[in-house]
Amino acid sequence: MSFNPTGTPNPFAAYPPAPAAAPPVRQSKAAGPLLMIATITMGLMAGLFFAFDVSVMPGLAKTDDRTYVAAMQNFNALIDGSGLFGMVFVGALLATGVAVVLEHRQGRRGAARWVGAAAVLYVVALIITVSVNIPLNNELAQAGDPSKITDFSIVDKFKDTWVATNILRTLVCTAALGFLARALVLHGRGTTAPAMRPHGV
């Protein structure tokens, strides 16, 4: 037991003062909705690729080459000219990327890691799209009027390379969707967690 300068015992000397609490992290109300948008847009992209896997491409494979080319040219033209598709295609990347930053800044590191992994997977899907699928789509468009085409070797490229890479895009985006779903769970737990009690109470 220690003594005050006046010589009287100080009964509180054995209990050091509690350390000052760290300032609370400012919570952004945009984090949850943004993570939801990222999940929805990622699901739409995975669903689009999946639809081509299980219905569009197998169905076209049963047609003649001229019909195959005409249908794919129409599909690509409609998708390229769709503002809604552009919003979803780019929005999935932007929403996921910003969600990583917000989750990390607000201390939800577990959720941030899952969102970050989803963002990486979606970048992989974009790389596949830009390096393989889009060049094949452009080559198909440059072939011109299907009624005047005499060389249909491009169809073989679609049946082999385009179809295979689209399956890969489906798998990658589906995995990213699962990661975002996990991040949503962790985000919810972090948001609803009870406040920490002060030291010593």
Find how far residue 105's CA is from the centre of its chain. 18
- pTM of the predicted structure, to 2 decimals: 0.79
Residues 6+ apart with CB under 8 A from 107: 25, 190
Give me the pLDDT at residue 41, please: 97
Give me the pLDDT at residue 199, please: 45
Give me the pLDDT at residue 7, please: 59
Local mean pLDDT, 10-residue blocks, the chain (201 residues): 57 56 57 91 98 97 96 95 95 95 87 95 98 96 92 93 98 98 88 46 38
3-class DSSP assignment, residue 153: helix
**Contact call for residues 200 and 135 (beta carbons, < 8 A):** no
3-class DSSP assignment, residue 63: coil
Give me the pLDDT at residue 104, please: 86
Q: How far apart are CA 181 and CA 114, in angstroms?
A: 9
Structure tokens, 44? 């739409």
Q: For the chain, how big is the Rg over CA atoms in Å? A: 28
Least Cα distance to 106 among 39, 197, 38, 189 occurs for 189
Q: How far apart are CA 115 and CA 106, in angstroms?
A: 14
